[in-house]
A and B are shown apart, each in its own frame.
Chain A
Amino acid sequence: MKFSADEIASVIQQEIDQFDSQVDVREVGTVLEVGDGIARVHGLTGVAAGEMVEFPGGIIGLAFNLEENSVGIIILGDYLKINEGDEVKALGTLLSVPVGDAVTGRVIDPLGNPLDGKGPIDASQTRPVEVIAPGVAERKGVHEPMQTGLKAVDAMTPIGRGQRELIIGDRKTGKTAVAIDAIINQKNTGVKCFYVAVGQKDSSVAGVIGVLEETGAMDYTTVIVAGASAPAPLQYIAPYAGTAMAEHFMWDGQHCLVVYDDLSKQAVAYRELSLLMRRPPGREAYPGDVFYCHSRLLERSCKLSDELGAGSITSLPIIETLEGEVSAYIPTNVISITDGQIYVQPDLFFRGVRPAMNAGISVSRVGGAAQVKAMKNVAGGLRLDLAAFRELEAFAQLGTDLDAATQSQLDRGYRMVELLKQGQYKPLNVVDQIMVIYAGSAGHLDKVPVDQVQRWEDEFLTFIHDKKQDVWAQLDETKDEGDCMKKDDHPTTQAVKAAIAEFNDAFNPSFK
């Protein structure tokens, strides 16, 4: 590629000819001290809280603390390039990020700078990072399902569009995996996804991006990265920046899914900033407004009313607990803000139950209103079966002879647990989920050995897709009817039952 110097020179000359010089009026201050990602500045008497300021070299900061004779500024960039005595300029605006289709499919930092090497972000619009969440009158109740593709979640703790569902658990229990499966499952649904990585290892984020690219999910996903080595101010604003980008689509009438991975690290970054700014520490040394830090973020995820376009943002915040301590400060805060929790537990994980969701204590406060009718009908029995099973599991360990009813309940329970296990990055369509869960709860799996259940499921779904496309289509069409899969005389129920029976005839349990 050869560049024509004459053409470029003519363009630049045109610009110079058209240049209209103006006197530049700016508010300035002088850096008193700088270090650890923050700076104290003398002057800037007219600056407002949260206003953007600029250091020499183009580094941006935010006015965080307004004190009597100085301003505390958090530096959104490399603080090592700033010296004492530097002039700081107030920009008179709030922090904004680029939004729109220009950011879809890209990997960017919280300020909108590209990190994937695919060229600059040409965004025509920007949105402020901090906004007040929509009020009560601007919202509508959550009533559409947001399918995660995980049987355990969609059946027992269904998530709706506009809901905030917390994923909480110890380290390495599969929290991010749940969120990534949800993102992958949004393919062909028109839902825009945002994955905000706060304080994560860059290698983990690279792994996630690799998976999203392989499965084709990057076409509708934006990844916002403020890694572990990013300055604390960037880690602090990353979730707000991600939400601002999602709000652009929400106000346009579209649906979005935002994953915050994870908010515990954002709280730690906020604590670091507050302590450096000498704000008084509270419980566990977190500042007094750490609840507000999370509540104003999560309140922005909502379902808008029909007059405003009926768009929505669903958010999946992730919180890491230490040793299962869900009554610590930050976990209890976020639990009280969100509309439900998915608890993932290490003992389930190591026992082979993956996703390691504890159905007993996991909850979705929106529940059935956000569930496809057919799924609601089949999953009703599932929760009860599992609850009864858990009670009886202790008996099984005693090794005593049990009566037939108890034994059958135990057997059913083992099979349902086995059914809910799912491979990573393999989200299931809701129609597939309904059929499989119906098969389990209606007793069609009782003759299948427990260790064959997963194979049964794989081969059954292959059978349906290869030979019984019409049954699949029928269920797909009627899944929103109130009686679908509930009563035995409903045509769809009968069709599915027949298909299962046909498959069971051919299924050979002893074939390994």
Chain B
Amino acid sequence: MSEDDNKPVFDTDQQYLGNVYGKALMGLADKAGTVDQMVEQLDSFVDVLGQIPSLRYALESPRVGFAEKEAIINKAIQGKASPDFLNFVKVVCRKGRADCFAAIRDAVQSMHDELSSRIRATMITAVPVDDGTRQKVADQMSKILGKQVSMTTQVDPNIIGGLVVRIGDTVYDGSVTNQLNQIRATAVGRANQQIRQALSRFASDA
């Protein structure tokens, strides 16, 4: 069960909804000039939903009436959230899209990153690395890409060694596994060719 939680789930319908609501929220925040706070609030709200499943079920359930949901939301975050954000949460619940908060958070995060010229990257290594190394790699990538790179790390012993950096859909693969595969492919291919061209050198009729 825990392994399934770690695998990312892709739901393109949710992604689309997340984009729609995320855009609305960003527009609102932009006008009010409170983008950073809004993003932070959304982030922590989604974390809270993750930590308290009963709250999430209550908001998502179609059997709970909207008035009740509004009351729950008020009790939960009023006073700790800005009025705009509070309204946003209520609107999402009223539209019956309370299950999309995670997708909305993803969309808002990527929009925010784009606005502030930031890129999220993942660094995969065979053994855990310390923060200093991680920062060095992040700085190097920032220099190459011209944008600020915020790096998260992952450990995958299957790569044996070296470094794999994933930014969005592009993977920069410098892992040992990949190099071994490359060597194997070229060496076997060229040896094959050479053997076929000069068979007598390699074989004898015995």
Interface residues of A (CB under 8 A from B): 1-4, 7-8, 11-12, 15-16, 19, 21-30, 32, 42-46, 67-70, 85, 122
Contacts and interface: CB of A to CB of B under 8 A. Distances in A.
Interface of B: 7-8, 10, 12, 15-16, 166, 168-174, 178-179, 182-183, 186-188, 190-191, 194-196, 201-206
Contacts of A29: 169
Contacts, number: 87
Contacts of B186: 15, 19
Given A19-B186, A32-B10, A8 B171 contact: no
Contacts of A23: 172-174
Contact of B172 (A12, A25, A68, A122): A25
Residue among A3, A12, A23, A68 with the highest chain B CB neighbour number at 10 A = A23
A2 B199 CA distance: 11
Nearest to A3: B203
B96 to A, nearest CB: 21
Given A11-B190, A24-B171, A43-B169, 4 more contacts: A1-B203, A24-B178, A26-B171, A30-B8
A32 B168 CA distance: 17
A15 B10 contact: no
Contacts of B172: 23-25
The 4 closest A-B pairs by CB, nearest first: A2-B206, A15-B187, A69-B12, A42-B10
B68 to A, nearest CB: 33
B169 A85 contact: no
Contacts of A2: 203-206
A322 to B, nearest CB: 39
Nearest to A122: B196
5 contacts: A4-B204, A15-B186, A16-B183, A24-B172, A27-B170
B20 to A, nearest CB: 12
Contacts of B179: 21
Contacts of B196: 122
Residue among A11, A67, A85 with the highest chain B CB neighbour number at 10 A = A11
Residue among B10, B166, B174, B190 with the highest chain A CB neighbour number at 10 A = B10
Contacts of B12: 32, 42, 67-70
A26 B178 CA distance: 12
Contacts of A44: 169
Given A1-B206, A42-B12, A26 B173 contact: yes
Contacts of B173: 23-26
B170 A85 contact: no
A8 B170 contact: no
Nearest to B196: A122
Given A45-B168, A69-B12, A4 B183 contact: no
Nearest to B188: A12
A23 B171 CA distance: 10
B187 A26 contact: no
Contacts of A27: 169-171
Contacts of A12: 187-188, 191
A157 B154 CA distance: 70
A42 B178 CA distance: 23
Nearest to A42: B10
Contact of A7 (B187, B188, B190, B202): B202
Residue among B7, B170, B174 with the highest chain A CB neighbour number at 10 A = B170
